[in-house]
Amino acid sequence: MHCNKSRKGKIPLAGKKSVLLAVLLLSSCIKDNLLEFLDIFPYTLFASADFEHRGKDAIEPDAYIMYHEYNTYALPTDSICRVEIMATRGTTALYAFNAADSVYMEDTEAWVKRIAGDTIYHLPAYFFSNFQYINPRQAESDSVHFTMEQQMRRLDIEIGLDVPERQHITRGEGTLQGVYAMFDISSLEYAQDTFYVRFPLRYQDNSLVSELHLFGINPSISQHLALTIYLEDGSSVDVEDDLSDELKPFNDEKIIPFKLSTRLDLHYEAGFSATLEDWVAEDEEFIDVQ
């Protein structure tokens, strides 16, 4: 009896190709059946965005992020991008926003970075967002354009100083109560919790000034301001005020900077004390932004 050598555990090359093809076809069938069962299919989008609706001091980002329930895509601002997404039948939302310094995302909620407890950073990068609805259909494509909206407003605080004050004051710090720390890009609503923003005051043109970027102020909470003014002898003076009335229009328009200005009077009677004159509030539409 003539016996061939055993080929146990080996498959001829032609047989290998047949097995591989069968495995691939089986995998493809399983994948197609699974996607059909889940009602998920690949969908082509041509996405673009513009940042034209922004303040004169806001810089257009180089890129933006498109967020879909299954994926996140980083896209250049100056291009129309072909994007393949996994979609489902029916109306679905696409969200777009920029990656802004000191702002982080939790699902569709944009939060300003906290510096301590319920106190947030005063100068995050400007945050933009928008969303569009699409109705995907298999074997079709679609285009989507996001007109990005500036979701933060600039607040300038200026405290004028006369000669006696300038001789004693070196710098200042402030804390403002009742500001929003979160903006939901899907509902366009804010967190209603109480937050504070802490900011430095620096010298500029015989004044103490500061620039803040805020989602907005909470009208159901008073905007209480606490200032600490530091003197050249190492001591400090505290002064407080309520800015609720002055800040009522703050949420009305976001791309026009809002300015609050006053003057500080320093008094000495067995120690220094300080008072603030009436505040003046104005939109900076016709004022050059530094």
Residue spans per domain, the chain? 39-112+127-150, 153-283
Burial degree of 168 (CB within 10 A; 0-12, 13-18, 19+): middle
**For residue 28, pLDDT beyond 80:** no
**CATH among 1.10.3470, 3.40.50, 2.60.40, 1.20.1280 for 39-112+127-150:** 2.60.40
Q: What is the dihedral of CA 104, 108, 117, 245, to 10 degrees?
A: 110
42-95: per-residue pLDDT in tens? Answer: 999 999 999 999 999 999 999 999 999 878 999 999 999 999 998 888 999 999
Residue 194: pLDDT band with limits 50, 70, 90: confident
95-123: per-residue pLDDT in tens? Answer: 999 999 999 999 999 999 999 999 999 99
Beta-ladder partners of 88: 40
In whole numbers, what is the pLDDT of the chain averaged over residues? 87
Higher pLDDT, 283 or 98: 98
Distance CA(185)–CA(144), nearest Å, equals 17
Q: What pLDDT is recorded for position 192?
A: 78
Residue 40: pLDDT band with limits 50, 70, 90: confident
CB distance 23 to 11 below 8 Å: no
Percent share of the chain, pLDDT over 70: 84
Burial degree of 161 (CB within 10 A; 0-12, 13-18, 19+): buried
Distance CA(241)–CA(225), nearest Å, equals 5
**For residue 129, pLDDT beyond 70:** yes
Higher pLDDT, 239 or 71: 239
Distance CA(52)–CA(147), nearest Å, equals 8
- pTM of whole model > 0.75? yes
Distance CA(84)–CA(79), nearest Å, equals 16
Q: What pLDDT is recorded for position 138?
A: 84
Q: What does the block give as tokens for 241?
A: 């005020």
What is the domain class of 153-283 according to CATH?
Answer: mainly beta
Average pLDDT over residues 184-201: 94
Distance CA(268)–CA(274), nearest Å, equals 9
Q: What pLDDT is recorded for position 38?
A: 55
Same fold for the pair 39-112+127-150 and 153-283: yes
